[in-house]
Chain A
């Protein structure tokens, strides 16, 4: 799901969340004081292996949020013989009957759980086919579950619409299911709508059956996915197709469904879709696994876009914003079809394996189009931009880690300060730099190969990357993924008599729960003789001192010039070095650092240097915060 896409809304959400956390800072969030309870959240059992869901739905009247449905769910017990099955099912679903082989079963629909008593204990391997007949007038709304958007009387060209939003745990509002990402099944939706409306769901379109009054769309996705990715969109659309023999990805059906009259905008805003798909297939060495790649613009959409399998749903900004805004989100949702849909986080704790990768996809696209600098700009925007991971120094236990199962509501995992969207891609970037491109991509390919159609934990990813690189990554993951916050490092250079003394001090909170970070800080030295030398300085204590023997006097020291490490540095070095760095930086990030530093100085030489820079600078603002 792309929450950040709605840039303002998402940032606002983070912003409003932050004070709440600060307000509770006095209490230790690890425990509920009054009861002694652990505040972490744990996944549910998966007592049945769900094989297939066939959902027949009839929307008789698009003028209200009602439908009737018959669900056929096939499943087999896991582990032990079982005589009862419990599904998540919204309390507003009116369950009429549940049958098995035509025999009515007793069931109990209590709040959001539907517990069905089977006629006997079934053994693992024995397939049961539960047929549940139900109807509802309230399948969700406001962008959770199945949202009905009314006709808009002011704009006659806008017709009623339905769209579904399952993530994180809302699809049970419109059909009974195991509403957690730790299980997957194939899905089939057979949806009858009034003539003139189209219904779109996951998978391939098997057939359309039309009568004078109705159209029935039969969608079938044979490959399994988690239930939160099941989607349904009903409406009247302009549809364009991006596929075809001349596209960058021939053979793939790539329709885009937009509001009536939007075809031109859709063509513009989704123009690079096929190129993206071809790029990812090559980059990830894994063919796009699903039946189609559809995009659908939906009204009343609560987030930016959502990676429902093969059937991405979008906020209407997709037709309102320029293509430059849509492209990264397009890539984000597309790469989810590998990281998220093909390989799914097993619990929301591991959401970054979906979202971190999706956000990293945006950097990969930038790299594809604009090269290494464009790539790094995306990474830096996550570090220094509005969600500012570089400035994130709130320690545990006040703050949760990026991978954490401590949340009151799964939505919080999308919005924490160490958030999956901003920190996730930086971590992947650091990992790539840490183990090198070759090992990184070998590892990623092996990860896809090993875990496709699987539900994964962070450790699964770590293990594959360790295997591919030979590098032990336990400490890396424990401090960057399983701990909150970012190090803040003072770096001081002093040179005399062939020795460069470097003092580094970690200035963020260091305590038992937040020990000093361990990393190698890259420094690029330029010497008076014109040579350059790259060194790495280990930081693993509050204070580390290094002494580097040099053949000549240094004239420049650029710290972390390629942003290999997510660390905020405050560097002490001669003013002349800063000014030189601004004029002739080793990298764009080095220039940003120089600019940021010089702006803090009340010194005419600094002002002069900045003034000289001013006319031709187009560098992103270095200090967004």
Chain B
């Protein structure tokens, strides 16, 4: 098969597409940003950009409709029955005909009162054709009357079923190419040699598009799938393979059984042809098979990509004293996956190119993604958020466990670097402005997918809050962090059930004795973080500290309560820690000290999500950059210096020294280069260009910095520009790292002359991991903005290319569209209903960004006619964008 390299980050491209015409597009394709539903940085920047453009309405998630007075918050559906077990038979005759005959047997018991009418979620009639519904009781089977309206199946029981009585409902239906939930990828001439495939994506509420169910996480069932397929295909689902039989010549039936309960959104089905290798081994739960399924021909890359899965499992088992809970842990790389990864119980789905070649490993590995999805097997699958309001109990933990894996495997510096990145991204985006902004834990959302994207983000803020909890809980008697036994208690109490945030708080409170209501209220139930202006007055043996909260403070957004440690360095080098406490806008405290204070390090362990500005002199930050005492403090020092208006010579020297030191942490070196770039230290950066860092990640940061020198308008025509451009051109042609080459190629888009055409055209033809070089070339072509560019990129928007690459092409078409508006509009319009979700969304957003009035009718039709709620939601967002931009254009014209 042809492997058109895919973009790593569906989410990045998907969302940057949503930014439309803005300049904040996220086009990074560094490995750092590979995520499941979890490419944080990308998401936040993308959404932030959108919010900025849309002004107040940008993140105003509706919880109240002023017109009707209605409460728009989302609450979980009732559980009229306790769903016990689902047995689902699917017969697939031909993998190239997206149709299956299905029989769903649902065993259930009424709860609370006798069951007269059962309502299940089910796909619309266009894709789910229900033939009959029967009840199976000990007395025999009898038909039940039912009605199927939109996405609801109502089944009538007459007489009603008594509370607690077991009843089984059998639903026979034909499944026809569902619009969401089950993605059917038949073979296509556009992509020769790629075998047909099916994968599913249940989260948030999409599994009902392929089986009738209670499609909300507040219920757990055991599941069993019996799937018959042509016998040259394999089938994977949750649980264990009970047996594989041959029901008819040329067909195989796979019988999968998940006999411990999980939520419906975690049910998975994958049918395809794969290379498979087992990376499993002995765990606390015994020997767990850990097969990795990758596209044929990629099997030799499994070990280098997924080889640490078993060790991760052991680490998580040890940290939380809970054996791996499922029968198997499969990881499956599938076609056209709309997200990064999905933690289906015991069988994670991974995005198209989540299998790495040797070269790409120098840019980074997939440990973040792999550990994230693995972490979900405990946090998300074993314990599940009761509603999307509490999604952070899934995603915050999964994100935080990435950091914990780094801490165990790569060391404390890597942990702090990872947590620091999450915390700084929250600090950048999360505003203390309820109700314009919603809290991380909030029932306000227009579609569950929205909860993944908000500024008070369940991934990065969730991770930050868990780090803060860990810092707050302190030590257990054995000297280890109390956080771990507390979380173990939480797991123990709530495994196999669904949870709300307060239940997590209670477990922490019970184990630690701390009252955490206020902590949880301010960090999870309201948006925003404090912005602190801090001032320190050093006296002979005391220090006066003043902190002023400068974020928005009003009745709905009171001042934060702080208790923030401040490390004081004393004359002679001793240190002591004082704690600044208070809950007022201005907090002033004097502390007696055992010596004369010299300087301070604010919150060296990042116990508090806060944007901090201090009056400390540059010298303090140079010392902090060099001495820490933590990686957190060093990173903060580098960033603070990078924010300086006029960086001093000594500070620049310090930054250069760290940036050049190969023994220093790569992340810190990158921050130093960024600081030098932000402060315009052109000569320092050019000097580094002469002896470039061997670490590709650091080199990439340098290449971006050199790129901004090369494309700096003010420096145009100067020697530094020429030198920087030289480095860039060389890297674009020959750097061994895909990421560095991609960065350089994107820069070339800005500085291109005729002589660069072969480089760009060459890149367009170059195969690379995640297709990142081709994507960079497409972006560069869009940047060059030559009329001929449109024809170069159009073919990459068509089916047959990896869908991430297609989103780059779609964006490029939009940017280049002004050369040929009708042509561009028609191409994009044709992609709005593309089979691939990413392409479809990118096309919708691109149509909106074109600002073409014809887009209104197009998107309105999409909102009206789409049978997928997610696609409708996407279309509605695009439509809102387009209407807003047309209105503002009119207003501008009117003025």
Which positions in A face B, CB cutoff 8 Å? Answer: 28, 30-31, 35-40, 42-49, 77-81, 123-124, 182, 347, 397, 405, 435-436, 438-439, 442, 457, 459, 463, 466, 468-472, 474-475, 478-479, 506, 510-512, 515-516, 518, 540-543
CA distance A471 to B111 in the complex (A): 9
> Which of B79, B387, B554 is within 8 Å of A31, CB to CB?
B554
Chain B residues with CB below 8 A from A81, complex form: 475, 477
B82 partner residues in chain A, CB cutoff 8 A: 470
Please tell me which one of the listed residues A40, A78, A442, A469 contacts residue B513 in the complex, with CB atoms under 8 A apart: A78
B554 / chain A contacts, CB cutoff of 8 Å: 31
Question: Does B77 lie at the interface of the complex (its beta carbon under 8 Å from any beta carbon of A)?
Answer: yes
Across-interface contacts of B113 in A (CB, < 8 A): 435-436, 438-439, 469
Partner of B64, one of A40, A124, A438, A512: A512
Q: Given A30-B555, A469-B112, A124 and B477 touching (CB < 8 A)? A: yes
8 contacts between A and B (CB under 8 A): A30-B555, A35-B585, A79-B482, A80-B513, A471-B79, A472-B76, A512-B66, A515-B63
Chain B interface residue count, Cβ-Cβ cutoff 8 angstroms:
57
Once A36-B549, A45-B513 are accepted as A-B contacts, the answer to whether A470 and B112 lie under 8 Å apart by CB is yes
CA gap between A438 and B113 in the complex, in Å: 7
Q: Which residues of B contact A397 (CB under 8 A)?
A: 555
Q: Which residue of chain B lies nearest to A510 when distances are taken between CB atoms in the complex?
A: B69
Q: Which residues of the partner chain A approach B559 to less than 8 Å between Cβ atoms? A: 35-38
B178 contacts across to A, CB distance below 8 A: none
User: Is the beta-carbon distance between A30 and B561 smaller than 8 angstroms?
Assistant: no
The residues of A that contact B549 with a CB separation of less than 8 Å are 36
**Is B512 positioned at the interface, with any CB of A under 8 Å from its CB?**
yes
Partner of B71, one of A468, A472, A515: A515
- Give bound CA distance, A459 to B511, whole Å: 19
* Among candidates A35, A49, A124, A182, residue contacting B515 with C-beta atoms closer than 8 Å: A182
Are B75 and A472 closer than 8 Å at their CB atoms? yes
Contacts of A470 in B (CB 8 A): 78-82, 110-112
B509 surroundings in chain A (CB, below 8 A): 46
- For the complex formed, measure the closest distance between the CB of B553 and the CB atoms of chain A, giving whole angstroms: 4
Cβ contact within 8 Å between B77 and A541: no
Known contacts: A468-B112, A471-B112. The answer to whether A79 contacts B474 by CB under 8 A is yes
B477 touches A516 (CB 8 A): no
CB of B324 to closest CB in A, whole Å:
28
Enumerate the 10 nearest inter-chain pairs by beta-carbon distance, A residue then B residue, closest first: A470-B111, A78-B513, A36-B585, A36-B559, A542-B69, A515-B71, A38-B558, A28-B555, A439-B112, A469-B112
Complex contacts, B514 vs chain A, CB 8 Å: 45, 47, 79
**Does the CB pair A46–B218 fall under 8 Å?**
no
B residues neighboring A (CB under 8 Å) = 63-66, 68-73, 75-82, 110-113, 163, 218, 387, 435, 443, 473-477, 482, 500, 502, 506, 509, 511-515, 517-518, 521, 549, 553-556, 558-559, 561, 583-586
**Cα separation A436 to B558 with both chains bound (whole Å):** 41
Residue from A79, A435, A442, A457 in contact with B511 in the complex, judged by beta carbons closer than 8 Å: A79
Question: Could you tell me if A80 and B476 are in contact, using CB atoms closer than 8 angstroms?
Answer: yes
A474 lies within 8 A of B443 (CB): yes
| Chain B residues within 8 Å of A459, by CB | 500, 502
Complex CA distance for A81 and B476, rounded to whole angstroms: 7
- Give the chain B neighbours of A510 by CB distance below 8 A: 69
Contacts of B475 in A (CB 8 A): 80-81
CA distance A37 to B558 in the complex (A): 6
Contact B112 A435 (CB under 8 A): yes
A466: chain B residues within 8 A (beta carbon)? 79
**How many contacts A-B (CB < 8 Å)?**
147
Q: Which of B71, B73, B475 has the most CB of A within 10 A?
A: B71
A472 touches B218 (CB 8 A): yes
**Cβ contact within 8 Å between B79 and A123:** no
For the complex, what is the distance from the CA of A347 to the CA of B518, rounded to whole Å? 13
A79 and B77 form a contact (CB under 8 A): no
How near does chain B come to A567, taking the closest CB pair, in angstroms? 15
Tell me which of B68, B474, B583 contacts A516 (CB under 8 A). B68
A540 engages B112 (CB within 8 Å) = no
Contact, CB under 8 Å: B71 / A540: yes
| Bound Cα distance A506, B443 (Å) | 23
CA distance A435 to B64 in the complex (A): 26
Rounded to whole angstroms, the CA-CA distance of A541 and B78 in the bound complex is 21
Given A35-B559, A79-B513: A515 and B69 interface contact (C-beta under 8 Å): yes
Docked pose: A405 CA to B517 CA in angstroms: 11
Closest to A38 in B: B558
A182 to B506, CA, bound (A): 12
Residues in chain B near residue A512, CB distance under 8 A: 63-64, 66, 435
Q: Which residue of B lies closest to A509 (CB)?
A: B69
Given the complex, which residues of A lie within 8 Å of B521, measured CB to CB?
40
Q: B216 to chain A: closest CB distance in Å?
A: 9
Chain A residue numbers with a CB within 8 Å of B218 are 472
Partner of A472, one of B69, B73, B79, B81: B79
**How near does chain A come to B73, taking the closest CB pair, in angstroms?**
8
Contact A123 B553, beta carbon cutoff 8 Å: no
- Rounded to whole angstroms, the CA-CA distance of A541 and B71 in the bound complex is 8
Question: Which chain B positions have C-beta within 8 A of A48?
Answer: 513
Contact yes or no, B112 A31, CB < 8 A: no
Q: A45-B513, A472-B75, A541-B70 are in contact. List 15 more A-B contacts (CB 8 A).
A: A28-B555, A30-B555, A31-B553, A36-B549, A36-B584, A37-B558, A78-B513, A79-B474, A347-B517, A457-B502, A459-B502, A470-B79, A472-B218, A475-B75, A541-B69
Among B65, B482, B513, contact of A46 (Cβ-Cβ < 8 Å): B513
- B78–A472 CB distance below 8 A: yes
Interface centre among A38, A49, A80, by most B CB within 10 Å?
A: A38
Cα separation A31 to B555 with both chains bound (whole Å)? 5
Residues of A within 8 A of B512 (CB): 78-80
Q: Closest residue of chain B to A126, judged by CB?
A: B477
Question: What chain B residues lie within 8 Å of A45 (beta carbons)?
Answer: 513-515
* A78→B276 CA distance, assembly (Å): 49
Which residues of chain B are near A49, meaning CB under 8 Å?
513
Which of B218, B387, B476 gathers the greatest number of chain A CB atoms within 10 Å?
Answer: B476
With contacts A36-B558, A37-B559, A472-B218 taken as known, whether A80 is within 8 angstroms of B515 at the C-beta atoms is no
For residue A469, give the distance in angstroms from its CB to the closest CB of chain B: 4
* Distance in angstroms between the alpha carbons of A518 and B64 in the assembled complex: 13
Measured CA separation A516–B584 after assembly (Å): 34
Is B473 a contact partner of A46 (Cβ separation < 8 A)? no
CB distance from B35 to the nearest CB of A (A): 30
Return chain A residues, CB-CB under 8 Å to B502.
457, 459
Q: B725 to chain A: closest CB distance in Å?
A: 52
Complex: how many Å from CA A339 to CA B500? 24
CA distance A463 to B506 in the complex (A): 14
Closest to A476 in B: B75
Within the assembled complex, what's the spacing in Å between the Cα atoms of A72 and B435? 51
Residues of chain A contacted by B70 (CB below 8 angstroms): 515-516, 540-541
- Complex CA gap A459/B390 in Å reads 14
Q: B71 and A36: CB pair below 8 A?
A: no
B226 to chain A, nearest CB (A): 29
* A226 to B: closest C-beta gap in Å: 15
Taking CB atoms, residues of chain B closer than 8 Å to A30 are 555-556, 558
Specify which chain B residues have a CB less than 8 angstroms from the CB of A78 in the assembled complex.
Answer: 511-513
Given A468-B112, A472-B77: A80 and B71 within 8 A (CB)? no
Give B389 Cβ to nearest chain A Cβ, in Å. 9
Please give the distance in Å from B584's CB to the nearest CB on chain A.
Answer: 4
Write out the residue numbers on chain B whose beta carbons fall within 8 Å of the beta carbon of A77.
513
- When C-beta atoms are compared, the residue in chain A nearest to B80 turns out to be A470
Q: Which residues of B contact A43 (CB under 8 A)?
A: 515, 517
Looking across the interface, which residue of chain A has its beta carbon closest to that of B559?
Answer: A36
Q: How far is the CB of A83 from chain B (nearest CB, A)?
A: 12
Q: Which of A28, A35, A405, A463 has the most CB of B within 10 A?
A: A35
A35 partner residues in chain B, CB cutoff 8 A: 559, 584-586
| A80: B residues at CB distance < 8 A | 474-477, 482, 512-513
Contact B76 A515 (CB under 8 A): no
Q: How far is the CB of B451 from chain A (nearest CB, A)?
A: 16
A478 CA to B70 CA, complexed, in Å:
14
